[in-house]
Amino acid sequence: MSTPTVPLQRALAFAAGVAMIAGLAGSPVLAADLVATSIDMTSVTTPVDGVPFTATVVLTQDNPTGPATGATGAVNVTEGAVALGTCTLVAGTCDVTLTLATGDHTLTVSYPGDGVYADATRDLPWPVAPNSIDATGVGLSYGTFYPYKDGYRDTVTARGTRNEAASVTVKVYSPTGKLLKTSPTIASATGAYAWPWNGRSSSGTMYPAGKYKITQTLNDGYMTSKVTTYVTLSAKRLYTYTKTLTKNYSQRSAQGTYSVAWKFTLPSATVYKKLVFAVYAKSSPTGWFGPHDFTICSKGTWDLRCASPYATIGKSYAWRKVTGSVSRNRSGTYVRLYAEAGPRSALKYGRVIVTYGVLK
């Protein structure tokens, strides 16, 4: 019964000794020998929605500071409890491919350590841009256009400005969704582009009135961005009219020491095409007349010096005229005409002849 006792005791003593050595020298010595580390992750490109991108992870040692070239093992990238990607360190660095949606993310990059290098974790803010080309003003010139050839909005133009090199393709769809027209590809470049559509088939026939879809697809070689807009094709056409409005001297709207003014209300119109101002008068020596320029003076100012352009009044009675500007000499349906007055001038009539268009 005593024979196995000594070997058993020796075995127990040896095991206790190993345990003691492990307890005294094992864990504290390993912990003291681990190299402290820091971790970071960067990306050369700006991440965009749904497009895979490469981020580079770099592990560095803290003391002495430098690359952790000897570190081994895998690095994990997570967002909350979601695993996004992993990569294996080589010479202290590795690349990981990630795909994220638009928005502001917080990514956690972590290294568990390898027995020589200590673990490291870092939270990084990570914004992701929408998947779109850098372009502004992408859209249409009009919300409604009129393909009848009368010079008024006969075409609609798909247009925009590219802030990065990109090609553009425009497509037109019928109200039922049928593809009607595809533009030639606008070559890759920066800057403004434009492609007009006349609302007609290849044979020249105008398409029916309705709401048409126009898409513009921009491609920078890495991603595409599609912008969809709608335009109403109208079968209306522009009818042009000319009307003459005349007032005599007693119908003047204002009078100063050296001038008079007439105010005229123009007929309502879709577009005003031409304004001609005239007076029937005489002056000796020569006087002058002209329409109010609303870019020089506001409607609240009545002054002969607000007139531009102007023409002269001759020494005998006659109609004399000057062509004005639809944009500068008109405020809505309101225009004003000045003429020099006083002892040397005799004024009988003021007149405006307006050419305008109405859609019907």
Q: One fold for both 37-128 and 135-233?
A: yes
Tens of each residue's pLDDT in the chain, 360 residues: 333 333 333 333 333 343 433 444 443 334 558 999 999 999 988 888 888 999 999 999 998 899 999 999 999 999 999 999 999 999 999 999 999 998 999 999 999 999 999 999 999 999 998 877 889 999 999 999 999 999 999 999 999 999 999 999 999 999 999 999 999 999 999 999 999 999 999 999 999 999 999 999 999 987 888 999 999 999 999 999 999 999 999 999 999 878 999 999 999 999 999 999 999 999 988 889 999 999 999 999 999 999 999 999 999 999 999 999 999 999 999 999 999 987 778 999 999 999 999 999
Q: Is 77 within 8 Å of 86 (Cβ atoms)?
A: yes
At position 173, the amino acid (one-letter code) is Y
Length of the chain in residues, anyone?
360
Residues 6+ apart with CB under 8 A from 246: 349, 350, 351
The vertex-108 CA angle with 90 and 111, nearest 5°, equals: 35
Domain boundaries, the chain: 37-128, 135-233, 238-359
Chosen CATH of 135-233 out of 2.40.40.20, 2.60.40.4070, 3.30.70.260, 3.30.70.20? 2.60.40.4070
**Domain 238-359 class, CATH top level:** mainly beta
Fold of 37-128: Immunoglobulin-like (2.60.40)
Question: Quick one: which H or E segment has residue 8?
Answer: helix 5-21
Alpha-carbon gap, residue 96 to 86, rounded angstroms: 6
Alpha-carbon gap, residue 51 to 99, rounded angstroms: 6
